[in-house]
Structure 1
Amino acid sequence: MPQKRATTYHIVKPGDPHPMGWTVPPVNDLRSAIELLKTLPGQYIETDREVDPKDELAGVYRYIGAGGTVMRPTRIGPAMTFNSIKGYPGSRVLVGMLASRERVSALLGAPVRELGVQMAQARQNVIPPVVIDRKDAPCQEVVYRADDEGFDLRRLLPAPTNTTEDAGPYFCLGLVLGSDPDDRDNVDVTIHRLCVQSKDELSIFFAPGRHIDAFRQKAEAHGKPLPVSINMGLDPAIPIGATFEAPTTPFGFDELCVAGGLRGRPVELVECLTVPQWAIARAEIVIEGEILPNVRVAEDQNSKTGKAMPEFPGYTGDANPSLPVIKVKSITTRKNPILQTLVGPGEEHVSLAGIPTEASIYLECHDALPGLVKNVYAHSAGGGKFLAILQVEKKNAGDDGMTRQAAMTALAVYRELKNVILVDEDVDLFDTNDVLWAMQTRFSGDLDTIFVPGLAGHVLDPSQTPEYDPRVTAKGTTTKTIFDCTVPFHLKKHFVRAQFKEVDPSLWAPSLFGKDSV
């Protein structure tokens, strides 16, 4: 059985109020999520026009709704399903499910500005997964075994390429589930870069510190493969809950418990058919396989482009010359499955990475400095990882120092964070123009900038290299910066914003506020 937690809980039915205060939407898989979006104007579209998964699909969605750090022109728009995929009759591909905070709000049930707080509450009130019978698992309705004649995952699943430079087709939203080789109940789930290399092989890229990579290394040390399942097309609560990182979810913590906390009911798992591992029972597609010991391949061995794929900072990363290999044992799917993908640098990555980042920082600051940090926003410009805006409310002169301590706490709790901007409670941290206004009127560069050099950051930031900064001895090391754009407490009365009369503007402009004219 999956890892158990010492917790009691009441199962929440869809549409009922969650004990922590939000209403649980009627969503328990990808299909019910799509049905919910269909009821919301402007949040979902479909097209029957044929699209090529090689370069074209991502090229289309770049204009429709990618957003994030994608090169302009782009925008935040609806989720989109392509119903006709060139070379794959009957296949469907969904992109952009979580590519706006408004959609995440609808799918998780909390207000747009409180999503980070909701995630924090779910992390504190986890519900462990449960295993169900195979007959009740939709993900195993159709089975393709790798030892069947003619098996070729390249013909079964329309993995897209994002650009002409990509090393190959990628599964961009494959949630990899693995276990400690010595303790199967010690489960970890993470989204990784998965490149299709052959009819039954994938390469997998691990950023430093990933827990499944620790499991792989442990198995490899004994010459053994690591059994994993790759789960695609999920209830959105599952992938967003899985993107928490240490120390908020330390080694040995099963992130599926967070999705359970969000929904008020456990995630359902099922035994895989061909490897000793679990799969997510209501997934659209599951790839079962093993990470092979002591086998490595060049990520671009088939294309020779020298590039990998577009990553969240907005650049196309270099192909890795030596990556572990997953040997595929089988593919199981629902009937008429939907392959879910994302545009690497887009707003969907911001939601997946950024909202758990907000929750992690909020939790740690709340415990260390109660009442000071009001909210946290992991900004799109940093892909949800590099830039955080912290909104604080100072109550005394001592909070001047505590505010900067909060920024240091944020840098400590989230290793990949690079820059922190501090703003007061009267600044809208979700409005970039308002944040920049605070920087222009409440910030002096030589007084209010704090540099912390030589810290671990993220290997996908091209400025974190010895070539960019000769002081850096290893890739993924950087100087982190705090921009204190708050007013010193003793000067608060001199920085009061112009106060306007409170009125109901809908009386004058009803159409702008969703009301009928009188």
Structure 2
Amino acid sequence: MSKENEKLKVTDLRSAIELLKSVPGQFIETDEPVEPLAELSGVYRHIGAGGTVMRPTRKGPAMIFNSVKGHEDARVLIGLLASRERVGLLLNEKPECLGFLLNEAVKNPIDPVTVSKDYALCQEVVHYADEPDFDIRKLLPAPTNTEDDAGPYITMGMCYASDIETGESDITIHRLCLQSKDEISMFFTPGARHLGVFREKAEKLGKPLPISISIGVDPAIEIASCFEPPTTPLGFNELSIAGAIRNQPVELTQCLTINEKAIANAEYVIEGELLPGVYVREDQNTNTGKAMPEFPGYTGTAVEEVPVIKVKAVTHRRNPIMQTVIGPSEEHVSMAGIPTEASIIQMVEKAMPGRLLNVYAHSSGGGKYMAVLQFKKSQPSDEGRQRQAAILAFAAFPELKHVILVDEDVDIFDSNDVLWALNTRYQGDTDTIFIPGVRCHPLDPSQSPDYSSSIRDKGISCKTIFDCTVPYHLKNKFQRSKFMDVNPSRFAPELFNNK
């Protein structure tokens, strides 16, 4: 990072945007009027979505739309985290070292603090739900990704709630659909989020669960919120990871209408309650049978019964910026994948220190389904440990489906290099390890009894290890061609002097 960029400290969404503006190729904006219903996402698909989005797409700059139809005073930002390089820039770390950065942050958490309302930028403007003209659909320029979506979705909402018995708090990202002027449906992946435990406990007691939804925050919070068990067990507040990344606590403020806190410098905050025993059909307003595009690249099925948040108020900064994401984009890969890498690094390093060199949660798996592990065998007894590392990776991140193992001379972030290892250091009959009948993730359409009679229930998968490492006793026969080590900037300064 240049000396100029080091002076641009990221503390919220707006300072993150200012940093990106200072780096060529990382940010663009448009004043062209855009329709939030499908058109906005349709545009960004071509600009910089990447990930598992249907081709043509590509990695590109973050983009802000300054003129959103139906929302005169709001702007919409998309693609903030839609490249690993940009995440590295925003977190002040080399892209290939982000998993290690987050691993250290998990081990050295800094708890959030509460600031007074005088410092709560998120409450500069307040709209109460009991006002006659209150309508969350008019207040928030929440887009739809496609014309088939169940409705406008909040895709980058930091949902914050607390256990009503213990007081322990947590933050996660959920699928939130605007259902009416003061109701939002909230989708929970079964057994995968701490807030689901909080909600179920409150519902059994017949009590509403206060919840705040902060939109448009420091990207460190967005990345940290995507950790999952066992790395962050129940009771672990992921905001403390964001605090460790920034080396200063995340600032919260007390909500105005509920007994809960929200991120003090967020662009928008929704205050509400998850109602006990109240459910709606997710696509009740469209009847499409579909929800929204999800990380595997397919549109999720609308759920018949999803819990409901009753909105009490919406607060926001002046001239607020709505942040959104395309479900299957590279942005999801960054948010889900980098915490996945950190979780795998943590578990494998505990078991066999120094052998796992790096991990990449690959884009083709949406940051969840596939991991490439770079493993170094230094002595004969290391043979076989690479497969132990793969098994540990499945334990570290239960939603992982495939692990590819490669040697230290393979660039895990270069898919061509990984496929080279697959083609020259792998034999299918001896280097493939199947682990059938294991719970994975229900959004993979192939994990269904309809796909294979061997699958007992939706969400169960055959996890697979592809061992593309050279057997230790043959390492000297698999040496890559060695080229002269030179400084190319002397010959092509325009390509190398700025790196």
TM-score range for the pair, normalised by the shorter chain length: over 0.9
C-alpha separation between the residues in 2 aligned to 1:290 and 1:220? 11
Matched residue, 1:8: none
Matched residue, 1:171: 154
In structure 1, what residue type is equivalent to 2:294?
E
State TM-score, norm by structure 2: 0.98
Whether 1:271 aligns to 2:254 is: yes
Q: Which runs of 5+ in 2 are unaligned?
A: none
Report how far residue 514 of structure 1 moved.
Answer: 3.6
In structure 2, what residue type is equivalent to 1:438?
A
- 1:208 maps to which of 190, 206, 209: 190
Report how far residue 25 of structure 1 moved.
Answer: 5.7
Whether 1:316 aligns to 2:267 is: no
Whether 1:475 aligns to 2:458 is: yes
- Cα displacement string for residues 89-132 of structure 1 (whole angstroms, at most 9, x for unaligned residues): 11100000000011101100110110111111111111000000
C-alpha separation between the residues in 1 aligned to 2:497 and 2:385? 42
- Aligned partners of 1:24 and 1:263 also within 8 Å: no
Matched residue, 1:9: none
Matched residue, 1:451: 434
Report how far residue 475 of structure 1 moved.
Answer: 1.1
Matched residue, 2:228: 245
- 2:206 maps to which of 220, 223, 232: 223
Matched residue, 1:187: 169
- 2:280 maps to which of 288, 297, 302: 297
- Cα displacement string for residues 280-325 of structure 1 (whole angstroms, at most 9, x for unaligned residues): 0010000000000001100000000000000000000110010000
C-alpha separation between the residues in 2 aligned to 1:198 and 1:398? 62
Which segments of structure 1 move beyond 2 Å, counting only runs of 4 or more?
A: none
| SS of alignment partner, residue 127 of structure 2 | strand
- Cα displacement string for residues 474-515 of structure 1 (whole angstroms, at most 9, x for unaligned residues): 211100000000000011111111100101111111112146
- 1:376 maps to which of 353, 359, 368: 359
C-alpha separation between the residues in 1 aligned to 2:485 and 2:416? 22
- Aligned partners of 1:449 and 1:481 also within 8 Å: yes
- 1:63 maps to which of 21, 27, 46: 46
Matched residue, 2:178: 196
Matched residue, 2:140: 157
- Aligned partners of 2:8 and 2:15 also within 8 Å: no
Report how far residue 24 of structure 1 moved.
Answer: 9.2
Equivalenced residues, count: 497
The 5 Å alignment of 1:391-470 reads 391-470=374-453
- Aligned partners of 1:25 and 1:107 also within 8 Å: no
In structure 1, what residue type is equivalent to 2:401?
K
State TM-score, norm by structure 1: 0.94
The 5 Å alignment of 1:1-400 reads 26-184=9-167, 186-209=168-191, 210-400=193-383
C-alpha separation between the residues in 1 aligned to 2:455 and 2:282? 26
Report how far residue 471 of structure 1 moved.
Answer: 2.1
Query: Bigger CA drift: 141-150 or 465-474?
Result: 465-474
- Aligned partners of 1:205 and 1:324 also within 8 Å: yes
In structure 1, what residue type is equivalent to 2:214?
N
| SS of alignment partner, residue 384 of structure 2 | helix
C-alpha separation between the residues in 2 aligned to 1:79 and 1:515? 22
C-alpha separation between the residues in 2 aligned to 1:136 and 1:90? 23
| SS of alignment partner, residue 234 of structure 2 | coil
C-alpha separation between the residues in 2 aligned to 1:327 and 1:345? 28
| SS of alignment partner, residue 512 of structure 1 | helix
- Cα displacement string for residues 19-57 of structure 1 (whole angstroms, at most 9, x for unaligned residues): xxxx79601000000000000000001100000000000
C-alpha separation between the residues in 2 aligned to 1:459 and 1:471? 16
| SS of alignment partner, residue 493 of structure 1 | helix
- In structure 2, relative to structure 1, the CA distance for the partners of 1:25 and 1:421 (3 Å cut) is farther
- Aligned partners of 1:24 and 1:109 also within 8 Å: no
C-alpha separation between the residues in 2 aligned to 1:58 and 1:201? 24
- Cα displacement string for residues 152-176 of structure 1 (whole angstroms, at most 9, x for unaligned residues): 0011111100001100000000010
Report how far residue 400 of structure 1 moved.
Answer: 1.6
In structure 2, what residue type is equivalent to 1:26?
K
- Aligned partners of 1:417 and 1:457 also within 8 Å: yes
C-alpha separation between the residues in 2 aligned to 1:155 and 1:230? 17
The 5 Å alignment of 1:500-515 reads 500-514=483-497
| SS of alignment partner, residue 270 of structure 1 | strand
Report how far residue 473 of structure 1 moved.
Answer: 2.1
| SS of alignment partner, residue 183 of structure 1 | coil
C-alpha separation between the residues in 1 aligned to 2:449 and 2:258? 42
State the Cα RMSD in Å: 1.5
C-alpha separation between the residues in 2 aligned to 1:462 and 1:181? 36
C-alpha separation between the residues in 2 aligned to 1:329 and 1:239? 24
| SS of alignment partner, residue 383 of structure 2 | helix
How much identity, in percent, do the aligned residues show? 60
| SS of alignment partner, residue 416 of structure 1 | coil
Q: Which runs of 5+ in 1 are unaligned?
A: 1-14, 17-22
C-alpha separation between the residues in 1 aligned to 2:60 and 2:217? 21
C-alpha separation between the residues in 1 aligned to 2:314 and 2:17? 23
